[in-house]
Structure 1
Amino acid sequence: MCPKCCVIDLLNNETLIDDLKQQLAQAAANPVKKGLAKLSSLSAAGITLEFQAPGASDQVVIRQLLEKIKQRGKYVVVVIDEVDNSTVIREFAQLFRAMKRFEIPLFALMTGLPDLVLDVQTADRLTFLLRADKVALSPLNLVAMTRTTPLLRRSVNE
């Protein structure tokens, strides 16, 4: 895998956005902050301090994490299999569009049955997906993967 690439592999379920935030936080954090992030309270001499981060919206948190990754010269590829026109996929697509407006190096690799993918592309407020770069794949085989690899490399390098 490319050292500049952070691959985020997500399941198409109700925790998709939370899973995205958690995996981005792991990719964006430095080792010291990772240890401190696990610290939720501190007790000494009968006094307990509890730490709780202020609640920010998913979009704000995800943008901040992606900006940290961008500052390190890396890009993010989010992989989602079995895409359908569910609420969580539509929410992800809207977040994706918002992040692209900020010129964040974020790419999505979404796979699924053609009819279900088309349903997502033509959903209200998601028609921007129709303009997105797409690579149509035949059923996986060595020839199809060999032909597609240069296209993916070119998209990443642009």
Structure 2
Amino acid sequence: MTVRSIDPVSLPRVDATLSLGEYDYRYEYVAAGRERAVVTNDFRRCVHCGTADAEITYCDNCGSLNCGDHVRTERLEGEPVCTGCAVTERFALKTKYFFDEGNLEAFREEYEGMALHEKARENVPLAIGFVLAAILLALLLVGSVGL
């Protein structure tokens, strides 16, 4: 095989970096007319585990892009927050996530003022389990007494 001629081809390579909060995201592609081949796309990857997930959520708190495994709902404001920057504390034996210490403190004060049934709503499965256990215990006591 003999090479008789070589035609040089130049393809523009575009490399862009976007900084969001504490993170930098890279998007790189090679362009050929209207076509392009993506080389790097950090916008589709979770910053915590690297998983390329169809559902990526942006965290306003720190600027991270996260898969579903690394996003929780902020308890006080109801917005998504990543597990990497969230401040956590357990209420009614369930971990709650907060943007910062200020939101955690505000919820602590709110939790202190809640009635028992409102506190139970912070962990519904636990509350249901407690009620079912109490009913079962009452049935066992009634059965053992012989009423």
TM range (shorter): under 0.3
Structure showing greater radius of gyration is 2
Whose helix proportion is higher, 1 or 2? 1
Query: Which of the two has greater strand per residue?
Result: 2
